Amino acid sequence: MPYPAWRAAPLHLGLAACGAASVFSFAPWYWAPLMWLSLAALFAAIGHAPSPRHAAWRGLSWGLGYFLANVHWVFISMHTYGGMPAWMAAGCTLLFALYLALFPALAGWLGRRWPARDAWRGALVIPLAFCATEYLRGWLFTGFPWAVSGTSQLPYTPLAGYAPLIGAWGTGLLLALCVGLVVGAPRQPKRWAAVAAIWLLGLGLQQVDWTTPHGEPVSVSLAQGNIPQDMKWDQAHFVDNLRTYLWLTREAKGEIVVLPETAIPAFLNDIPDWYLDELRQAVGKRHLVSGVPIMGQRDDEYYNSVMAITEPQQAVYSKHHLVPFGEFVPVPTLFGWMYQFLDMPLSGFSRGAPKQPPFVLGPTRLAANICYEDVFGREIIRALPEATMLVNVSNLAWFDGSWAAAQHAQMSQARALETGRYMLRATNTGLTAIIDQKGRLLASLPPMKKALLEGRARNFTGLTPYARLGDWVFLLALAAGFALSVALARRV
């Protein structure tokens, strides 16, 4: 007799709830154990599925809850500030979450379909399938590695010790394997011992210094203008916006002063010369770095950039990894209709070069990245070993005080761990922060507040293993794990 669909409803609702609960494992809560429990529910459901098709549906249900909870804030950017009707923005948010949920659905199907002995399916294959599809999500169509499971363990659990070696992806793989070992065979003491060994080794690795401090600490001032998104590009507020950042610059005491993404809401060639002169006079012989859009050679060519206002002879940094649908349309023939309903200024940016030199600011070699770019660890390490410090400039006013700002800051913490570098964050509305080479938040400003963050940061030299090898160790481990499962399945 066919299994009635309605009898499966509680299971799928429960999986969606388990997926949604994972949001508390990320910042601002950092309740990392919730990710263990969420993955345990997913892996157990896949492992007990009667077929790959059922496993895929279970992965989809879990993924839908997971992504609706973790990226619900895209609704705010589309409706509140993009001008899209609420029903359409809600529908686009649901479709986006459904697309992202296809990856854990694929993991479910692959986890049940891949050849493996039953004894190792839950402990090895399902965790590998989950991590492989999660990485695929972070790569396909330019990638969307937001809310990656490994990031939830950074920087405060023992697994953070592995981030300088194998990155957030590798940390997620170890997390998934630990969960799989326990869920796949909870009564086997050897597997519990293996999990304990992984965590104890991670605790030891946290004590290792992979990079070396260089010179004396540098004083820094990070500006947070707190300009609402609906006022940022409004010509009626243009002068007020200029005054805000001029005032913050004058108040700054740091040797390096950083203003956030597009702090000056005009193209560089349209900014009055007197205003740039005022900014330079405000810092004197110190250094001022700011986000500013820059026109290219053609009318339709413009860049989301960062420049050293006090050292205009230095090359500007222009954002390379653009946000799909926010800064460019991936396939205009399919998705151009969205822009009929969105009112997003400067939504057709051009790409900067993949590798760009850091700013030379006294003893500091400051490598910039803009907003969404620090989600991609494999791209941030391109600035090394030249860069001695990292800075992210962002404008998350699009998300109106949601948890997106805190989640984004946690990804900056992951990048600091992976590179062994301080990460400065200068944002319009939050989270403005100073993060050390261990991924710890040394200081931060309350969100949605106009203020300056004054503090000290250190330059570091040297390369972590992850900075040398990137994602290759993780990818080779995935390949080896899948090959091992096939070999075990073929043994008589």
Q: Any idea which residues carry the catalytic annotation?
A: 261, 319, 371
Q: For residues 350 and 367, give the distance between their C-alpha atoms in angstroms, rounded to a whole number.
A: 20
Distance from the first to the final alpha carbon of the chain: 35
DSSP string, 185-253: -TT-HHHHHHHHHHHHHHHHHTT---SEEEEEEEEEEEEE----HHHHT-GGGHHHHHHHHHHHHHH--
Tell me the CB-side half-sphere exposure of residue 179, using CA atoms within 13 A: 29
Residue 432: closest CA among 261, 242, 237, 286: 261
Strands 302-308 and 441-444, by their bridges, are unpaired
Q: For residues 239 and 390, give the distance between their C-alpha atoms in angstroms, rounded to a whole number.
A: 30
Q: For residues 466 and 210, give the distance between their C-alpha atoms in angstroms, rounded to a whole number.
A: 10
Helix (H) or strand (E) holding 408: helix 404-419
Q: For residues 405 and 396, give the distance between their C-alpha atoms in angstroms, rounded to a whole number.
A: 6
Per-residue tokens: 435:
């993060």
Tell me the CB-side half-sphere exposure of residue 164, using CA atoms within 13 A: 23
Q: Output b/e per residue, 317-349; b: 16+ Cβ within 10 A.
A: bbbbbbbbbbbebeeeeeeeebeeebebeebeb
User: ∠ at Cα 431 (446, 279), nearest 5°?
Assistant: 90
Whether the Cβ atoms of residue 450 and residue 244 lie closer than 8 Å to each other: yes
Residue 279: closest CA among 247, 304, 255, 253: 247
- Chain position carrying tokens 């296809």: 102
Strands 212-224 and 256-258, by their bridges, are parallel
Q: For residues 391 and 426, give the distance between their C-alpha atoms in angstroms, rounded to a whole number.
A: 8
Per-residue tokens: 188:
């086997």
Rounded to 5 degrees, φ, ψ at 396 are: -100, 20
Strands 287-295 and 256-258, by their bridges, are parallel
